[in-house]
A and B are shown apart, each in its own frame.
Chain A
Amino acid sequence: TQLLEQSPQFLSIQEGENLTVYCNSSSVFSSLQWYRQEPGEGPVLLVTVVTGGEVKKLKRLTFQFGDARKDSSLHITAAQPGDTGLYLCARGGGNKLTFGTGTQLKVEL
């Protein structure tokens, strides 16, 4: 099994702070996806990165795919309570996904 390790596992911050979540693997993957899951809901796709070194921005979220395509990061600027949730990276495509271990983020007022 090709594991996707995420760090940190838990993160509790104040509104307005910045944070970075990491996703690492020992193997190369062709693409990587980031999801956010809110309580009582299923995961929702945020972004897909496919090219080594690629950077994608989604409002206050910045996603980066490592040059060697073995790691990825998600940076949130000026976090808001609405960013609270479980952030998951995943590899694979379509409907056969291997998910990372997850980062539980809580943003407090």
Chain B
Amino acid sequence: KAGVTQTPRYLIKTRGQQVTLSCSPISGHRSVSWYQQTPGQGLQFLFEYFSETQRNKGNFPGRFSGRQFSNSRSEMNVSTLELGDSALYLCASSLGAPGMNTEAFFGQGTRLTVV
């Protein structure tokens, strides 16, 4: 079966702009999470969605937001981009509801560069 699909794979934006990243989970998976990976901070949890509702949120400013659609596809948005937002953004999907220890499957990520 198809894995987690993230689009686009690469993106270059200018400071101050906004960006939207997309994630299509594995078919049947209803839980989607987003992570930010940088050399300095490592892999950090952004937020988790289940059944179109945000269930958990990491320690990131309000410029970072997301949503989930009825087909479980998810988008995340970053407004007023800063140079420090340059990172690999990873999406993960899992079968279970929040709190259940089901395996998370990661996409290949979107490499965002802010110039």
Contact = CB atoms under 8 A, between A and B. Distances in A.
Contact of A93 (B44, B93, B100, B109): B100
Nearest to A98: B45
Contacts of A102: 42-43
Contact of A44 (B42, B96, B97, B106): B106
Nearest to B57: A96
Interface residues of B, number: 29
Interface size, A (range): 20 to 34
Contact of A31 (B43, B97, B101): B101
Interface stretch (A11-19, A35-43, A59-67, A72-80): A35-43
B43 A94 contact: no
A6 to B, nearest CB: 9
Nearest to A101: B42
A44 B3 CA distance: 12
Contacts of A97: 33, 35, 45, 92, 104
B26 interface: no
A34 interface: no
B106 A94 contact: no
A43 B48 CA distance: 17
B45 A88 contact: no
B87 interface: no
A18 to B, nearest CB: 26
A43 B98 CA distance: 20
Interface of A: 1, 31, 40-45, 48, 88, 93-102
